[in-house]
A and B are shown apart, each in its own frame.
Chain A
């Protein structure tokens, strides 16, 4: 072996080591393992928020998470009986709250969201409207679905079904189901895409953690009151995990260049209800079922019942 050959090999090795070191450094920078979490929720939340802020886009974040999971694992039907993947039961939000960020008190503003000037202007306008009129109109009053990300903040029942190829995240409210495709398919291509209430969600399993990415959403609001709006540019990264037999948890990062100056991290959590007498049922929601549930928007932009029939229920059912 000549001296030149040795120099070439040495050079290649040096470059390889350098690339490896950079890659390791980058990976270590982005890799929480899984973000060192202890009993200090304030610190943990700050770390999870900071983690999201390392990424310019949710796509970048999702791809890094997938890379770290080595592409993710494929579940089998045999695994569905394992406690980690058995998400059966009926759940509700761990705290009865309409706040998107469960840590915020009921009457607080969106304190944990850093808004753009445009996003802040919308929140200010809502606060002004509430002050002037004492009320508001919620588009959901006619039984349209909440859409995502508002899906998270609805206080009604939730039900979940994990299968190897899809996970269904079901909301009692307005019979609303989000489907997370985990069969390895990519998102609907951009030139075939169209906006929808819950968008297009793909995901993968990192052990017993479901990592999901959503895009192609419609505009909406995180919830009533003075909570922000989200735009149709919104995308979402989620990490779902059954943390104990009664608790499902999702770490959620919302990216919205229109309304958010940085990704909005929140921890969403649902508790499995005891339902000891097994009487709980999720039934179909239809605002036309009972005419007394009709809601209209007033000229001031608040809500009102148009009238009460108070006739026997049979007479109010939609035919």
Chain B
């Protein structure tokens, strides 16, 4: 029953306003209630879908478009908001709470928007509010990264806006559904969405900025922006051929970086790219099975990726450290965090009985159904690689590996509870996939648990683990080094500085040259006329003084004084007037 005709976004966004004025338990309860109320509101929608519309300047607006696709993302974003708020309850900083709620709310606005005006407003609000979550760490690194982040997203927003303008001009309507790649306008929209999906090569903002957030804010960041872009891709560009290859590149290139990276949260950021690659690939394949796989993978991915970022955040919160080189052996004092991290790791690695398995295998199977041999091989390679960096490396270097000597306690109860709930959902979806399958946009006749599929996947993972073990034992495994690895952001971080230097050299060179020659000319001209005037005045004065009878020393003194007065411009008024009159007389005589 619909008794209030509002977009679901308009519960969380205005709901964030009272947060700074509440204290203690009331504040916690209030913040936890917001996503619950939103979810209940979503559940009250009729199951066959509906829209809330309006008109503006003759254009139809759709504030809320509820169908199976948007509902699935609506549910998971509400669940995620609840988990994120619960995980961040102990945070005192109101900026983070408000930014997180506005961010989550605007993401819901994007998901339910059925027209481009509504979409664009929430899209930009999402970019702005998420920037505050990066800035919330209040370090120089986070400030710089946040600045780069917002610049990238504003650029992406401009691509989207340009595309929207061309779209409206072409179709005469603001509402959108399937667009498909035809014409420049659709390409611009595609690029705008792809940037938010962190599609290679527009991905560098993600591993640059996400690891700079606070222990709790990165959990929010990991969930919303990329997955709302995945939703929009599934809505507007399903079956677009470039997505298959963008996805295929995304699943395997980031895993090399993830292997090399030292910062745990940056490892997770690269594995986030890899997972979004699976989704984009599925959307590109575009069959019912592939699209089901892509959106169900987004659903389970949001939970286990948040769980992994929560585990990393807990470690950072309790130890103040987040680098592989500084951590190790934490299982001794943080066994629960370790357990939750390993459940998240098992889920992202798509172990049977965990959530990643029931969703990712749909995408892989879809590529096999379409006989895409190379894509299938890449996806399987990446599946083995995911287990390597996210499944083994993250828990191994954090909780096992060499003992760092750190004896940190378990994080506060709310953090543990949030991780526990997320871990429960990972396993529940893995054991009972029907709960996920029944909310997918297309009818599902897919059975994930077949003998060959389970054994094949287990072989892939376990023999990958064998390779990891042998490489570690043999010492061939690349050691963790305190370092960074160059990525595409090099081009706007370092090359930007070089461009600045070249411009500095060029433009300031012109500046210096102008100063030298133009000012030199002016000085020369000024000196010339000054000397001319002095010379003339001297000529007449000396003649007058000679007539008056001045001679020798007295004459010399008079000449020197006049000369100095002329040069310094400190001529007594009488003489100044006399010289001016002389000059005028001269002009009069000569003409």
Is A bound to B?
Answer: no
